[in-house]
Amino acid sequence: MRARDGMAGPAGWMITVLCTAALTGCGLPTPAPPPAAARPDASAGQSGSAEPSAPPAGVQRCHTNQLSARLGPRTGTGGGQSWMPLAYTNTSAQTCLLRGVPGVDLHGPNDPNGPVYSLRRQRTGQQDVVLSPGSSGSARLVVRSDTEGSVGSGGSTNWLPTQLVTIPPDETSPLTVAWPTKLTVSRQDEATHPGSWVESVTPG
């Protein structure tokens, strides 16, 4: 073999072996990395939350006439704020489901803001709460009470509701619950971020 062929003799064989071992630097393509989904450290769904699961086939939403409502034990969180569960119990013979945030109005004596305080609804997740007969789901009710020297919207002070009127999610008919004795509510009708609100229904 003539020298101009470029690969003659032992030196040519050595170059060939080195190129084959390295797979780079001699014009040979480098294997592409595997796609992200195939890598062991790839995490699925990091950029979004899981969609709520579909309700069981044939189960309809709970209607007001299938439910009773009550307030559970109150828990203090400091700073005049406390919370308690607003529980809905399925009193019918059919399984039904709740989803979303209920409506809550507090009714009491007349006030510079009127006799009704409508609480802000705060969505805290979306899930189907399936209620078999006799079981319950609840929405967390957060309440800011009057503290010494506090003044609410329109100069309101020491407003004491007499009852809570709630409309279950996606319904139009209300349920009425007695309000706890001596639990005042700071009226913040005009506040952008009031200290009292109601959250989404969860199991239990």
Q: What is the pLDDT of residues 140-156, one digit of tens each?
A: 999 999 888 888 898 99
What's the CA gap between 95 and 67, in Å, rounded? 11
Q: Tell me what pLDDT residue 99 has.
A: 95
| 120 contact partners, CB below 8 Å, separation of at least 6 | 194, 196, 197, 198
More confident residue, 157 or 136: 136
Domains and CATH numbers, the chain: 60-203 (2.60.40)
- pLDDT of 135 strictly over 70: yes
- pLDDT tens by residue, 105-121: 999 999 999 999 999 99
Would you state the pLDDT for residue 54? 61
Are the C-beta atoms of 202 and 137 separated by less than 8 Å? yes
Q: How far apart (Å, rounded) are the C-alpha atoms in residues 56 and 34? A: 39
pLDDT in tens, 160-173: 999 999 999 999 99
DSSP H helical segments within the chain, as ranges? 9-22
Tokens describing residue 27:
């014009």
